[in-house]
Amino acid sequence: MRCILHVEDNEDQANLIRMILEEGPVPVRVHRVPCGFSAVQFLDTCGGPGSPDWPDLILLDLNMPKVNGHEMLAAIKADRTLRAIPVIVLTSSDEPSDRQLAYSHHASSYLVKPTDPDQLRQMIWDMQTFWGRWNRGPVGTARAVGA
Domain boundaries, the chain: 2-134
Lowest mean pLDDT: which of 53-57, 58-62, 111-115, 136-140? 136-140
Domain range 2-134, CATH architecture: 3-Layer(aba) Sandwich (3.40)
| Overall average pLDDT of the 119-143 stretch | 82
- Burial call 114-131: b when 16+ CB within 10 Å, e when fewer: eeeeeebbebbbebbeeb
| Model pLDDT, residue 145 | 37
Closest among 52, 62, 123, 55 to 83, alpha carbons compared: 55
- pLDDT (tens digit per residue) in 41-79: 999 998 888 888 999 999 999 998 888 999 999 999 999
Q: Does pTM surpass 0.95?
A: no
Q: Is the pLDDT of residue 84 over 60?
A: yes
Q: Which residues, other chains included, contact 54 with Cβ-Cβ below 8 Å and sequence gap of 6+?
A: 3, 46, 47, 48
| Model pLDDT, residue 1 | 62
Q: Is the pLDDT of residue 146 over 70?
A: no
